[in-house]
Structure 1
């Protein structure tokens, strides 16, 4: 309940700031030393929040479906891709973290490249992945465009999981590890009984970051590869009507933002039973 109230409070604050700036801001934008530091406060650049909400209920095109149905369908399409990419990225990140914790040589040799991988511009990477995967197939099933987007989402989401999980696996103090050794526990049993439970407080914040990164990867991937049906492509299509129907553009952006909140909520639902179990099981870290 506290998290729900926090989210609602954040929404109220955001709406208040939006409408407050629109009421007092300069229609031509706030310029400082010849550089515009704040956006224009006119109706074309910043429509009222209630105009965006009203636009959700009106048809996308004359005689067509309401905008909210189109945005919802696009969000569900992107959600499926995001979940696939997030799951793949989380698995890769977990495996990398376990390998780096187990072998110090792997950590020293691999961790710099894991960090370096996140410096590659995503807009430049997406067409390369699309080109590499264009000739792939799984037996009679050819590679689909959504799979390319899922790979991009996995590429962004594996990094926080790998780094956060590695930090968690290394969090038990030496005395706790020595205690496990005194019980003649091998590496695998120490991992299951000591390191994994101790890593949970580090893992779930990393998973929330990975979920947000997966949403960004999916949206940017849809835009870069031209994949239709998702919220990323819808943002581009609605942006073409920015001058004639500015509120419509923000409906797609609102859908993308809500998609990120849904992914974060799904991760939180996964966290609740595991962290409750961890509180019942004492973990030796001293």
Structure 2
């Protein structure tokens, strides 16, 4: 079985295992959960907190608004929101990837820049995303370029790029510095400049490090886009659906789980899309030592 087939089988098996554990928890654990010393140590498993999987799947085919003139199913609403969020997440991944690669190139070229900038790059990821989102939305509201006003979706894309930037920058830097000293010295002995060494040696050697970093960045961009949609109130995405369905969770908790399921599938789709990059760069897999 090829590596890609194993990946598909593993992903499906993980979903099946999650479903089995979910239903097993509902069967074994008490509906009110388990409380020890006034502290709940195991969650409630009644239908108001943990609906059955088949109940959640059944909600996907039901109309989103009962009695509406134009009937749209919950599944169609979740799919539309997921596609909207996917577009913003991929835009953020592209923006964060470009910035991350450029910074990694500068840090590899000038070690002083690496020593000065890398600690701040790492520290930037300790800032809570939920605190950054309102600031980005507020600053963006004051931007107007050639008659174009800043849109809420632009804030979501910038926030997604903030999370995607870090793994790509670190992975790219590690890949650029991965060639062994003997190979670097060989290029120097052949009077190769920095650009030739970069294109012929460092970039091919960085592929095995960059592809996993981009896959991680894609999943992070999806998380950033969803959190940004919730924080900024941007409509049209899966994050907004989660908020809207959560407000009616008391009467219909299974509908909220349809949006959560859509967000989970969205993350898998984004990470799987990076597999196309992996296929295109397969010839460089053996570059790392």
Give the superposition deviation at 1:268: 0.8
Give the superposition deviation at 1:32: 4.1
1:250-284 Cα deviation digits (max 9, x unpaired): 00000101110110111011111112x325xx75x
1:104 maps to 111
1:31-66 Cα deviation digits (max 9, x unpaired): 345432322111110000000000001111113311
TM-score normalised to the size of structure 2?
0.95
Q: Are residue 236 (structure 1) and residue 240 (structure 2) matched?
A: no
User: Number of paired residues?
Assistant: 282
With over 3 angstroms needed to count, the CA separation of the structure-2 counterparts of 1:236 and 1:175, relative to structure 1, is: same
1:125 maps to 132
Instruction: Determine which of 39, 42, 54 is the counterpart of 1:38.
Output: 42
1:60 aligns to what SS in structure 2? coil
1:179 aligns to what SS in structure 2? helix
Q: Which residues of structure 2 form unaligned runs of 5+?
A: none
Give the superposition deviation at 1:108: 0.4
Q: Are residue 148 (structure 1) and residue 155 (structure 2) matched?
A: yes
Distance (whole Å) between structure 2 residues aligned to residue 219 and residue 114 of structure 1 = 22
Distance (whole Å) between structure 1 residues aligned to residue 193 and residue 40 of structure 2 = 61
Distance (whole Å) between structure 2 residues aligned to residue 101 and residue 209 of structure 1 = 22
Distance (whole Å) between structure 2 residues aligned to residue 146 and residue 17 of structure 1 = 37
2:186 maps to 179
1:3 maps to 7
1:218 maps to 225
Distance (whole Å) between structure 2 residues aligned to residue 258 and residue 122 of structure 1 = 22
Distance (whole Å) between structure 1 residues aligned to residue 43 and residue 50 of structure 2 = 8
Instruction: Determine which of 272, 281, 286 is the counterpart of 1:265.
Output: 272
Distance (whole Å) between structure 2 residues aligned to residue 30 and residue 166 of structure 1 = 48
2:201 aligns to what SS in structure 1? helix
1:17 aligns to what SS in structure 2? helix
1:59 aligns to what SS in structure 2? coil
Greater shift, 28-37 or 148-157, is seen at 28-37
Distance (whole Å) between structure 2 residues aligned to residue 37 and residue 203 of structure 1 = 40
1:163-184 Cα deviation digits (max 9, x unpaired): 1111111111111100111111
1:243 aligns to what SS in structure 2? coil
Instruction: Determine which of 91, 104, 118 is the counterpart of 1:84.
Output: 91
Instruction: Determine which of 247, 250, 253 is the counterpart of 1:246.
Output: 253
1:59 maps to 63
TM-score normalised to the size of structure 1?
0.96
1:118-148 Cα deviation digits (max 9, x unpaired): 1111111100111111111221211110000
